[in-house]
Amino acid sequence: SRGGVRGTISVNCAERDNCDICDRSLFVTGATGSFGTAFIEMALRNHTPRRLIIYSRCEVRQAEMATRLDRPDVLRFRLGDVRDRDRLAMAIERSCDGIIHAAALKRIDAVAHDPEEAIKTNVLGTINVIRVAIDMGIPKVMFLSSDKSVNAQNFYGSTKFMAEQYAVAANVYASSRNVRVSCTRWGNVIGSRGSVVQIFQNAREHGLPLPITDPACTRFWLTLEEAVVILVKALRLMSGGEIFVPRLPSMRLIDLAEAVAPGHPRCFVGLRPGGEKIHEVLINLEEIRRTVAVNDSLWAINPAIHPWRIDVPWSGQPAQEGLSYTSDANDWWLSVQDMQKMLDLPSTTK
């Protein structure tokens, strides 16, 4: 089985006493997507969850996951859509300790063509998940956001921004039920379905030039495994209302193309319709004033308004005011060889 998950029962978690996965029951939306699958596999491999409830729309992927992972003692599969609040309420067990909300429509061009569908899933779906969590008293909800939400320039980014802001503000109501809602926000995930890495790999395999939007484009990068680790850390640290942002490296798309297919022909196709950015932002100029460094690898953007807390529990070294965290002005860059190592590709180093 992929990742050596099948049959794994005895796991020694180094942080078991403070772990939000070991001995916990978690509900994961979008659990058969790229991130959801990586999270489920990591949870089984490195932790001892009491129960993981897989919630998604695709019965085929659920069946494949059930066969591949072979953990009927832990895994529960529930078909459903986050758009359906009644179904969510039926699928979520009251004994759940937390919800990981990863379900979303993510393709910029598709969302631009069908904006109402994105609103139904990304915005209203998020409202449904959080409302059900509040009604049922689920202690922790973690919403997965995106760098596209910052200074949003496309419809997808706008829906993630609205969902993110609702997740933060929902603590006003959630706190009376001892429920807390927080967010994680990160950049491009290497290995996710439909990512630019897959697009480049497909073009290479079919002998087509690699389509690059703009030679100046830069992006933040992390692996699926790193994304899961960040979420686990955020679950442990959250007090409600924070947006957790990891420190990530940047890379130019033309360097990514060289890493995936050295010397392969390329073509410049222009920015995708719908409002694609040349550079991404993880923390903007306004948010930096409310940002603290939790540790060397993670920032927390504190909520601007937090009436659910008399005191402010979020501590850490304040970020330098006047800066913004953008992919072009980053102080950490990936080389071609770094990316090849991350993708497990032969190095072009001579």
Inter-axis angle of helices 155-169 and 125-136, nearest 10: 20
Q: What is the largest CA-CA distance in the chain?
A: 61
3-state secondary structure of 148: helix
Q: Note the pTM of the prediction, 2 decimals.
A: 0.92
Provide the annotated active-site residues. Answer: 148
CA dist 348 and 154 (Å) reads 36
Print pLDDT tens along the chain (350 aa): 233 333 333 456 777 777 999 999 999 999 999 999 999 999 999 999 999 999 999 999 999 999 999 999 999 999 999 999 999 999 998 889 999 999 999 988 889 999 999 999 999 999 999 999 999 999 999 999 999 999 999 999 999 999 999 999 999 999 889 999 999 999 999 878 878 898 999 999 999 999 999 999 999 999 999 999 999 999 999 999 999 999 999 999 999 999 999 999 999 998 877 678 999 999 999 999 999 999 889 999 999 888 887 666 667 888 887 778 999 999 999 999 999 999 888 877 64
CA dist 122 and 106 (Å) reads 9
Structure tokens at 290: 């409310």
CA dist 242 and 303 (Å) reads 6
